[in-house]
Amino acid sequence: MTIAEFGILSTILAAWLGACFGSFSNVLIYRLPRDLSVVGPRSFCPSCEKTVSWYDNIPLLSWLILRGRCRNCSAPFSVRYLLVEIAGAVCVLASIWRFGWTLDGLSASFFLIILLDIAMIDWEHMIIPHTLTVGGMVIGSVLSLFGNPALPSAMLGAAVGAGSILVVSYGYKLVRGVVGMGGGDVMLMAMVGVFLGPWGVPAVLFGGALFGTLYALTVGRGNLGGGAKLPFGTFLAAAAAVVLFFGGDIFTWYLSRF
């Protein structure tokens, strides 16, 4: 589908909705791992502590108009805030583009935004807040009452997702004598199972392990020595996004090899 067929208005609407989700993601990514409230106080400049006015807090536009600086004291804001808003726009645009303005499109949008938040937080803090995974499971379960996968499949997916990490983690502990994965990974895979169903779980585990290994062998080489941990949740989240869009195609291709 081209943008012309999809409609300029539809594209702008989806991107804008995504940028707003991205804007809220910035709040979640900063505050959840620091145990701060996500509803208040309103965003403020970390430098002069002045509350950011609503007209300076418009997704994408405000950052560009103020060129990433505080209106009051001109202290620079990290470009990361803009990038997360853009990432949010891409998440929703891709979902609506692929699945249309349907419940599946809405479900995919929520799933991707939550995965984005989890990927960022786990990368930086090595934790996966239960607020995101449990919240995602609630949203996914409610949507599965009306969309895909159906509720029984979503529940089975949650059990398979959580169970698989528990088994891997237990096996790792037996072999290496240390706990390889935390409760956050268990909850993440349970949420993945809710959105992708039981068949999505092995694909995401494989993809996450593949991405993590590739990272460790290339970019992460050198700074992962001495028992440094890998933010496995980030790689699982990336794999879940790939499986959401291409899981069916990969499965068909794989079967066609035999």
Q: Which residues bind Zn ion (CB under 5 A)?
A: 45, 47-48, 70, 72-73, 75
Nearer Cβ to Zn ion (82/137) = 82
Nearer Cβ to Zn ion (66/209) = 66
Contact 194, 173 (CB under 8 A): no
CA angle 247, 251, 252 (to 5 degrees): 120
Q: How far is the CB of 244 from Zn ion (least distance, A)?
A: 39
Beta bridge partners of 69: 76
Q: How far is the CB of 68 from Zn ion (least distance, A)?
A: 12
CA distances from 169 to 70, 176, 184, 185 (A): 45, 10, 12, 10
C-alpha Rg value of the chain to the nearest Å: 19
Q: How far is the CB of 35 from Zn ion (least distance, A)?
A: 24
Contact 237, 123 (CB under 8 A): no
Q: What three-state secondary structure class fits 60?
A: coil
Nearer Cβ to Zn ion (14/45) = 45
Q: How far is the CB of 52 from Zn ion (least distance, A)?
A: 9
Closest CA to 96 of 195, 237, 191, 1: 1
Q: Which two tokens stand for residue 155?
A: 């529940």
Nearer Cβ to Zn ion (48/210) = 48
Nearer Cβ to Zn ion (50/229) = 50
